[in-house]
């Protein structure tokens, strides 16, 4: 599948590669260049592949609270929250952001590769009076991220964006067409996610790129930006084989609500997870790769680590903002203390690594 901006990406000489079922731009000028430009100015990302669901009705709040882990009864209109869809055993079906449009009206944004499965799961658990609409095909979505993103977007937007705080949104008009502008994103930087009718997406893309502050950015930079800020990615840090507890994302769990999968989550919260998601700082520029084993170091740092226990890399990359390689990994809970010496087994060599605090990058402007 292709987004409505596919021809724009080709015209900009983007490197295109499959991402799930989508042909998506991986990079334009280069991952490091796009990464640093987003940290310093404003990067523009095509996120039209994401899924968007509209849910409303007299039982909508109760239905969604049984489906999503984050608290929604206390969520004011005009705000949004991050949470999870779980199966009965507490495994993560998807992570999502839920927007409260009205007292009984919600908007849920889900990952591209899980949209069909999420739609089936949600609709199977809604009350008869709750109305569900999949708006994914009719919705265009752009992410404008970086400390100078408001300078680029404000001239095109009717609403005053200056007062809009983190995880708030406003319904407004952008380029004269109805749009929802959200102070969210996936880079750790100040920025916006812009939802508008799909037919107008290309025009907004073109107008934003006329601004010298803005560069087009691909999925490569999006991945390094989110990794530096330790933001989890579905299919890597999150999946149906684990509850959200091991990932450390307990802030997105409503302990007062009995959502699907809650029993497994409560049990793991009470006893503690057997493994934990940790950050690893590696020596040098060579990166760890998803799926590589992580082993406990012997005598400080050694390739001869014991083979009876291991962890696993979920994401790894050179970190352009930091100048060294980093990784996220699930390891036995006993290895999760800061400063623990580990090694990453690449199959050819052992890369020395040490457990470090998260997030790796702490200078992001998202909350400013």
pLDDT tens per residue, range 170-216: 999 999 999 999 999 999 999 999 999 999 999 999 999 999 999 99
What pLDDT, on a 0 to 100 scale, did the predictor assign at position 298? Answer: 75
What pLDDT, on a 0 to 100 scale, did the predictor assign at position 284? Answer: 82
Domains of the chain in start order, with CATH, are 6-50+137-228 (3.30.1360.120), 51-134 (3.30.70.1400), 274-356 (2.40.30.110)
Peptide bond into 359 cis (omega under 30): yes
Mean pLDDT of 95-110: 98
Residue 11 in this model has a pLDDT that exceeds 50 = yes
Instruction: Report residue 368's pLDDT band, with 50, 70 and 90 as the boundaries.
Output: confident
What pLDDT, on a 0 to 100 scale, did the predictor assign at position 300? Answer: 47
Residue 15 in this model has a pLDDT that exceeds 70 = yes
What pLDDT, on a 0 to 100 scale, did the predictor assign at position 316? Answer: 98
Distance CA 354, CA 301 (A): 9
What pLDDT, on a 0 to 100 scale, did the predictor assign at position 175? Answer: 98
Residue 86 in this model has a pLDDT that exceeds 90 = yes
Instruction: Report residue 283's pLDDT band, with 50, 70 and 90 as the boundaries.
Output: confident
Q: Which two tokens stand for residue 61?
A: 């709040």
Helix spans in the chain (H)? 6-11, 31-40, 60-67, 115-123, 149-153, 201-209, 219-228, 262-271
What pLDDT, on a 0 to 100 scale, did the predictor assign at position 297? Answer: 87
Mean pLDDT of 6-16: 98
Whether residue 64 contacts residue 72, with contact meaning beta carbons closer than 8 Å, is answered with yes
Distance CA 308, CA 302 (A): 15
Bridge partners, residue 154, by sequence:
none
Mean pLDDT of 309-316: 94
Instruction: Report residue 306's pLDDT band, with 50, 70 and 90 as the boundaries.
Output: very low
Whether residue 228 contacts residue 321, with contact meaning beta carbons closer than 8 Å, is answered with yes
Instruction: Report residue 4's pLDDT band, with 50, 70 and 90 as the boundaries.
Output: very high
Per-residue pLDDT of 210-250, as tens digits, reads: 999 999 999 999 999 999 999 999 999 999 999 999 999 99
For residue 100, give the 3-state DSSP assignment.
strand
Instruction: Report residue 20's pLDDT band, with 50, 70 and 90 as the boundaries.
Output: confident
Mean pLDDT of 122-137: 98
Kindly report which listed range (10-14, 90-94, 97-101, 283-287) carries the lowest average pLDDT score. 283-287
Mean pLDDT of 116-126: 98
What pLDDT, on a 0 to 100 scale, did the predictor assign at position 305? Answer: 42
Instruction: Report residue 139's pLDDT band, with 50, 70 and 90 as the boundaries.
Output: very high
Whether residue 144 contacts residue 156, with contact meaning beta carbons closer than 8 Å, is answered with no
What pLDDT, on a 0 to 100 scale, did the predictor assign at position 303? Answer: 44
User: What is the number of other CB atoms lying within 10 angstroms of the CB of residue 367?
Assistant: 10
What pLDDT, on a 0 to 100 scale, did the predictor assign at position 90? Answer: 97
Mean pLDDT of 18-26: 94
Instruction: Report residue 308's pLDDT band, with 50, 70 and 90 as the boundaries.
Output: low
Residue 301 in this model has a pLDDT that exceeds 80 = no
Residue 84 in this model has a pLDDT that exceeds 70 = yes
Per-residue pLDDT of 45-59, as tens digits, reads: 999 999 999 999 999
Q: Which two tokens stand for residue 60?
A: 């909508």
Calculate the average pLDDT of the chain: 96
């Amino acid at each position: 599948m292709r987004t409505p901006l596919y021809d724009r990406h080709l015209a900009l000489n983007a490197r295109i590669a499959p991402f799930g079922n989508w042909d998506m731009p991986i990079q334009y000028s280069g991952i490091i260049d796009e990464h640093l430009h987003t940290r310093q100015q404003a990067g523009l990302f095509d996120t039209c592949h994401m899924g968007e669901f509209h849910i409303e009705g007299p039982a909508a709040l109760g239905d969604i609270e049984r489906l999503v882990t984050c608290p929604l009864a206390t969520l004011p209109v005009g705000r949004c929250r991050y949470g999870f869809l779980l199966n009965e055993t507490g495994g993560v079906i998807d992570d999502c952001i839920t927007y409260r449009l009205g007292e009984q009206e919600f908007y849920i944004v889900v990952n591209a590769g899980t949209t069909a499965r999420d739609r089936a799961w949600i609709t199977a658990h809604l009350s008869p009076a709750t109305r569900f609409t999949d708006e994914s095909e009719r919705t265009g979505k752009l992410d404008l991220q970086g400390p100078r993103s408001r300078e680029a977007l404000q001239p095109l937007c009717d609403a005053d964006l200056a007062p809009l705080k983190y995880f708030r949104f406003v319904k407004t008009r952008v380029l004269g067409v109805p749009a929802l502008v959200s102070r969210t994103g996936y880079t750790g930087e100040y920025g916006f996610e812009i939802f508008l009718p799909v037919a107008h997406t290309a025009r907004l893309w073109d107008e934003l790129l006329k601004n010298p502050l803005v560069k087009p950015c691909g999925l490569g930079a999006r991945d390094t930006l989110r990794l530096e800020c330790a933001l989890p990615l579905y299919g890597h840090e999150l999946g149906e084989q684990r509850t959200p507890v091991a990932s450390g994302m307990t802030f997105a769990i409503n302990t007062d609500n009995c959502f699907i999968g809650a029993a497994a989550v409560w049990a793991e919260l009470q006893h503690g997870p057997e493994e934990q998601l940790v950050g690893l700082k590696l020596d040098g520029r060579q990166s760890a790769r998803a799926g590589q084993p992580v082993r406990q170091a012997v005598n400080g740092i050694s390739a001869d680590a014991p083979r009876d226990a291991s962890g696993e890399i979920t994401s790894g990359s050179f970190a352009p903002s930091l100048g060294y390689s980093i990784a996220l990994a699930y390891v036995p809970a006993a290895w999760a203390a800061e400063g623990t010496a580990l090694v990453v087994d690449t199959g050819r060599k052992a890369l020395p690594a040490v457990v470090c605090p998260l997030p790796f990058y702490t200078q992001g402007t998202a909350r400013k």
